Structure 1
Amino acid sequence: MTDAVLAEVLDENILVITLNRPSVKNAINSDISLGLRAVFEDLDKDDALRVGVLTGAGGAFCSGMDLKEFARVGKPQGAQVLLREGTKKPLVAAIEGVALGGGLELALVADLLIAASDARLGLPETRVGLFPSGGALYRLPGILPKPLIAELAFTGEPISAERAHHFGLISRVTPPGAALDEALKMARLIARCAPLGVAASKDLLRGSQCATADDFWLRQRELVQTVFWSGDAAEGARAFAERREPLWRHR
């Protein structure tokens, strides 16, 4: 495991993942992209872990691709796969400072974005001869109005967390320095819920952007057969009737 990505388990079921290149505002190089892929795989494979929280060290989330490395050897190894696949389990991004270029595209891999009020988000790639190529132009049309996406991609100008929240990109806005604490609160709420139900919800949300209505209803019916007749569904009903916390068993 590289020191560029740190992983810490909290509360036995939350994995806090920290981008750890603070001297360059956690710019994405091969160490970060390969390290993140490994940590994401660990998150998905470990049944004890319910949710991941992605943050950055040193008061910044991520300033984008490391252009110095790019000038020498090209795009970071594994970055395209990382940004395309993400995680099967819920992921919450805690954004302080900046989430720019590949940093914003990395944040978009998460299911929920929490940002400090003074954070800036943007796609400045065209200012350095590139264009957003890590999924932003696929994911953002389902969230932001097309003219705003065009503004971000064509001009390279960032927007504030408050504006991003207004249009629905950011789930919650916090005072500066509090994004991680708020993301952990959200993660704990997710971790209390049934893993099978959360996984099914993410499955449907992930596929809904490109699915037809018939595809959506067919996939939902399949998931209903899996989840509604599971032991966890029975446990949830019993726990509700008995006024106690449920004991989820992932089956």
Structure 2
Amino acid sequence: MTFAVPHNRTAVITIDRPAARNAITPEMASRIEEYWDRIEADDSVWVGIITGTGPVFCAGADLKRMAGEGGGPAGTERGGFAGIADRVRTKPLIAAVNGPAVAGGCEIVLAADLVVAVPRASFGLPEVKRSLVAAAGGLYHTPRALPRNLAMEMALTGDPVSAERAFTHGLVNVLAEEDRLLDEALSLSDRICANAPLAVRESRRVLLEGMALDEHAARSLAAESMSWIRTTEDFAEGPRAFVEKRAPQWSGR
């Protein structure tokens, strides 16, 4: 596992266990949770990216490790699978998918806010092939990210969906060339980081929470969020920068 802040307020978490198809162990899950704790606590970091090394993004949990000595759940109490699938977050997460993302690997992708993927990537929930259930988010996040029947196809057949098909149906935001994956993910992050960070976090929160509300409650949630944003320093900076015809200098306050 590696953690880096390469440039422009973006931190990158890299799953680096290619010989084991980047399968997640309990220790790796704890490390990812620790990395995201650092991202949430660091005011200089506004966006996180998670990616993998080698030909596979993540094959899910390390089943061999779970079945042998030192086994245990490949998750954490707060974060769920891989320390991130169920994590309550305030900052955006981009999944940069370098290859197949299956089982828990697919559930990491589904937990992300945005997805960049190479053409050879694929997304699958093969749990039914092993008499398991995709309980780390696959069965309730997939129908929110994809059309119902495509989500049902993934859940019942266990067969993967190609990156191109996922792009067509909106799960993937950007299809990137093999050698441009991280560059494209960082470019997407740059587009986010050009905006006021508190407004970005509030917009993310209201969008996600609003999906579970009726229109009246969602409207009230958005109004409350806007009332709070009006109290921040950046609320004054946005119009000021527009009038002065310059790029805004966001403080995150």
TM-score by length of 2: 0.92
Which of the numbers 73, 76, 91 marks the counterpart of 2:74?
Answer: 76
Residue 38 (structure 1) aligned with residue 40 (structure 2): no
Offset of residue 82 of structure 1: 3.1
Structure 1 window deviating more from structure 2 (71-80 vs 127-136): it is 71-80
Kept in 2: contact 1:64–1:100 (CA 8 A)? yes
Q: How many residues align?
A: 247
Contact 1:55–1:94 under 8 Å retained in 2: yes
**2:212 paired with 1:210:** yes
State the 1:124 CA deviation. 0.7
Instruction: Write the distance in 1 (CA, Å) between the matches of 2:15 and 2:162.
Output: 22
What is residue 67 of structure 1 aligned with on the other side?
Answer: 63
Secondary structure in 1 aligned to 2:111? coil
**Does residue 13 in structure 1 map to residue 15 in structure 2?**
no
Superposed CA deviations along residues 104-126 of structure 1, whole A, max 9, x for unmatched, are 10111110001111111111111
Partner of 1:152: 154
Letter in 1 for 2:228: T
> How far, CA to CA, are the matches of 2:179 and 2:22 in structure 1?
16
The one-letter amino acid of 2:46's match is: R
Q: Deviations over 1:5-63 (max 9, x none)?
A: 21101225110110111111211111221111111111111111010111101232111
Give 2:133's aligned residue: 131
Aligned partner of residue 44 in structure 2, secondary structure = coil
> Does the residue aligned with 1:17 lie in a helix, a strand or coil?
strand
- Unaligned stretches of 5+ in structure 2? none
> Which has the higher mean CA deviation after the structures are superposed, 158-167 or 170-179?
170-179
Alignment of 1:1-251 (within 5 A): 5-72=1-68, 73-78=71-76, 79-80=80-81, 82-251=84-253
RMSD value, Cα: 1.5
Instruction: Report the alpha carbon displacement of residue 234 of structure 1 after superposing the two structures with TM.
Output: 0.9
Counterpart residue type for residue 85 of structure 1: R
Task: Tell me: CA distance 1:77–1:139, structure 2 relative to 1, closer, same or farther (3 Å).
Answer: closer
TM-score by length of 1: 0.93
Structure 1 residue 166: Cα displacement? 0.8
Cα distance in structure 1, aligned partners of 2:216 and 2:159 = 39
Distance in structure 2 (CA, Å) of the matches to 1:154 and 1:112? 25
CA contact (8 A) 2:26 2:72 kept: no
Identity within the alignment, %: 36
Q: Deviations over 1:108-154 (max 9, x none)?
A: 11100011111111111111221111112221212212211111111
**Residues 201, 179 of structure 1: CA spacing in aligned structure 2 closer, same or farther, 3 A cutoff?**
same
The answer to whether the Cα contact below 8 Å between 2:110 and 2:145 also exists between their aligned partners in 1 is no
Q: Name the SS for the 2:107 alignment partner.
A: helix
**In the aligned structure 1, how far is the partner of 2:251 from the partner of 2:177?**
37
Moved over 4 A (4+): none
Does 62-71 or 173-182 show the bigger shift? 173-182
